[in-house]
Amino acid sequence: MTIFLNNHERELSEPATVTAVLQLLELPHSRGLAIAINNEVLPRDQWPTHQLRPNDRLTLIRATQGG
C-alpha cells in the first residue's frame, strides 16, 4: 500500500494505523508532534485506531525550540 509522508512516497506491506507508522519510523515519542491526514489534523487520541488508506497524505510536524 502506498502512502505519502511529508510528500515522500512510502510503501507499507499492509494497512496500518498512524501509531504503527510512527513506530515503523522509530518515532514512538509523540511529544510535540502533530499529524494531518489529507490536510486535516488528526486528534492524538485517534492515532491508535485511525486506519490509513492507499494514497493517504500524512504530514508530520514536530515543534522545535528557537527564536
At 4-44, the pLDDT tens digits run 999 999 999 888 999 999 998 887 667 889 999 999 999 99
In a domain, 33, yes or no: yes
DSSP state of 32: T
In a domain, 21, yes or no: yes
Q: Which residues pair with 36 in a beta bridge?
A: 41, 59
Residues in the chain: 67
Q: Is 19 helix (H, G, I), strand (E, B) or coil?
A: helix
Residue 44 sits in a domain of what CATH number?
3.10.20.30
Range of the domain at 27: 2-62
In a domain, 67, yes or no: no
Q: Is the pTM of this model over 0.75?
A: yes
pLDDT band for position 46 (50/70/90)? very high
Q: In the structure grid, which three cell numbers stand for residue 39, read together?
A: 490536510
d(CA 63, CA 61): 7
